[in-house]
Amino acid sequence: MIGELLCNANKSLLEAMKVINHNAKGACFAIDDSNKLLGIVTDGDIRRALLSDIELSEKIHKIISKNFVYGKVDEDYSRLSSKLSNKISIIPIVDENFEVVDFFEFKQTSHYPVAIPNLNGNEFKYLSDAFLSSWISSKGKYIDAFESKFSSFSDCEFGVSVSNGTVALHLALISLGIGKGDEVIIPNLTFAATINAVLHCGAKPVIVDIEEESWTIDPKLIEQSLSPNTKAIIVVHLYGQPCDMDSIMKISNKYNIKIIEDCAEAHGAKYSGRKVGSFGDIGCFSFYGNKVITTGEGGMCTTNNEMLYHKMRKLRDHGMSSERRYWHDIVGYNYRLTNLQASIGLAQLERIDEILKNRKNYEEAYYSKLQNIFIFQTNLKYRNRITWLVSVLVNKNMNRDEIINNLSELGIDARPFFYPLNEMEIYKKFSKNPTPVSQKISYRGLNLPTYESLKSIEDIIKILDLLNTKFSS
């Protein structure tokens, strides 16, 4: 194969094009009469030469760049891999006489998305049972069982399943009477669903900054942002890390302010030994496909308040009376989960302890290889975070987006953190104070692929070794 990559530098550009076309590698290695390497010519080099009015009959040595990348026969795999990039996919290997003896290229044939649900438990069994029962819509035994068992898992007495995590937030807000003229404090670093739910209620979001250590809402800034119109606070347990619930609940009790917990990314996380979702008036969960457990789309509101529980159930089901079918005494919504979705959720919930353990193992495997180039989430006192996705910060002297691109070239789908809300034009007016921590964390943060099944962890680690070599050298 190496012979198909070589072309004498005294040949024409047309001959080089023929060599490149034949080897299908996008490049050829220009050599002299004694087989010594003079440079590399790519199809792009020839294209640029033609655009500069250089004739195809011109000799190859006329366009060879003096700066080119090559490898030596005694270099190991990691060292050679570090020389490849999105612009350089193949390099010549030379011996001690600088003669071309081989080539090196890296082709990523595998792809590792940021999240893949594992449905290898009772998911298909329960789904088939729900399907065959003909109860495929918003009634059925799996809905009741899923609501009961998930609320219990979350240290709550009641659970109300809904069609997704966003409507869980909206249902929580309207059930607490939040509406026009009210203010709701939210963190600046969160997914847009948090602020959108407030706006859908007609209320005014008030954006505040986050803590640098936890990446979650800063209680000190909450208290500074209170006004007579503040009626609720949505705290977001971001990337599996619980908020400072002691401080937040003190604010709630002192000023009689409602607390909604956005737990979309924190199933099973604890603060002082107690599950998130059980501290505030209502906890809101998401079961989207990339969450700890999934129903495809879906969500849940949890509460220990029986009155709120009944109100949420009624609002979720078109505002229909529970005593008089088709009688509506309030304007409600169709926010219901199906029995089919609940059957999958119940099967997922049966394995949630194993799921959380395996996700943690993923994080530990990443940490063992990448602690020199990434800053991992902090384990804080009283806070037992979970691993939703492995969430890290790049070091200050590194370019986060460059690393994401490098990982993409290696087949690894790394995701940047959420943008700060107040950087987006539609939300900017809801932020009155500087939010430097949100900006800092957002633009240094990325999420790595994190699976429940431990699938391909060894393969991913091998690929990450290439990244480690590049950025540690």
Domains, the chain, in order of start with CATH, read: 2-105 (3.10.580.10), 123-350 (3.40.640.10), 352-472 (3.90.1150.10)
Rounded CA gap, 90 and 26, in Å?
Answer: 9
Mean pLDDT of the chain: 92
pLDDT at 53 over 70: yes
Which is nearest to 368 in space by CA: 473, 265, 238, 460? 460
| Size of the chain, expressed as the number of residues it contains | 473
Tell me the mean pLDDT in the region 313-337: 94
pLDDT at 142 over 90: yes
407 — phi, psi (to 5°)? -65, -40
Percentages of the chain per state (helix, strand, coil), in multiples of 5: 40, 20, 40
pLDDT at 463 over 90: no
pLDDT at 426 over 90: yes
Rounded CA gap, 420 and 158, in Å?
Answer: 33
1-21 per-position pLDDT tens digit:
688 899 999 999 999 999 998
125 — phi, psi (to 5°)? -60, -50
332-357 per-position pLDDT tens digit:
999 999 999 999 999 999 999 999 99
Amino acid identity of 323? E
Which is nearest to 191 in space by CA: 404, 27, 370, 427? 427
Residue 347's pLDDT is what?
Answer: 97
Residue 107's pLDDT is what?
Answer: 60
